[in-house]
């Protein structure tokens, strides 16, 4: 298993300073807040628990709710199952996590003997979309097939509670 974490830094130029003065985020600012973690392992179902654990840990780092974390764990498991069915035995499965301040993008990839896009009209695809928010697939170079999951963290109200969380009743005292 390989794990790489990187953050991009940039020195603001004159154009960046103008955007900062206007209160907008520049590309450099967006990149600074992004971490990337890549996990590569054998393309075998026996190793999926490692990815589920990594997914949960990284989502917790971004303050996702417990329900959102569980949704992501299940979505990663389902995406891997879809791709492992066409992975060449003995090759690797790569899972790249892109962490931003309010969202996580997860790209699961394998090398396939006969690469094909996962069918988007299946129950499995519907489950992925419900769990992850945005789901896409792509064919890459060298027979690589990928599923991309993107989940945005639920907005938190000014009181620090996620949507739907019970409000504390005022104490009489």
The answer to whether residue 29 is domain-embedded is: no
Instruction: Report whether pLDDT(41) > 80.
Output: yes
Structural domain boundaries enclosing 49: 34-152
Q: Evaluate whether 39 touches 95 at the Cβ level (below 8 Å).
A: yes
Count of helices and strands (H, E) across the chain:
5, 6
The answer to whether residue 14 is domain-embedded is: no
Dump pLDDT digits (tens) for 77-117: 999 999 999 999 999 999 999 999 889 999 999 999 899 99
Q: What's the CA gap between 36 and 43, in Å, rounded?
A: 21
Q: What's the CA gap between 125 and 55, in Å, rounded?
A: 19
Closest to 54 measured CA to CA, from 1, 118, 130: 1
The answer to whether residue 94 is domain-embedded is: yes
Query: Please, which pLDDT band fits residue 158 given cuts at 50, 70 and 90?
Result: low
For the chain, how many structural domains are there in total? Answer: 1
pTM of this structure: 0.72
């Amino acid at each position: 298993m390989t794990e790489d974490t990187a953050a991009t830094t940039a020195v603001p130029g004159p154009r960046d300073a103008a955007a900062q003065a206007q209160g907008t985020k520049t590309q450099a600012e967006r990149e600074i807040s992004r971490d990337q973690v890549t996990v590569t392992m054998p393309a075998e179902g026996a190793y999926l628990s490692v990815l589920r654990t990594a997914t949960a840990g990284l989502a917790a780092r971004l303050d996702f709710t417990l329900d959102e974390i569980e949704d992501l764990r299940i979505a990663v498991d389902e995406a891997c199952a879809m791709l492992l069915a066409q992975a060449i035995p003995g090759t690797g499965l790569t899972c790249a996590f892109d962490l931003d301040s309010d969202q996580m993008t997860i790209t699961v990839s394998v090398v396939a003997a006969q690469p094909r896009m996962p069918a988007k009209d299946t129950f499995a695809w519907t489950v992925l979309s419900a769990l992850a928010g945005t789901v896409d697939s792509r064919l890459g170079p060298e027979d690589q097939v990928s599923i991309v999951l993107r989940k945005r963290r639920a907005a938190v109200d000014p009181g620090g509670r996620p949507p739907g969380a019970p409000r504390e009743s005022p104490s009489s005292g």
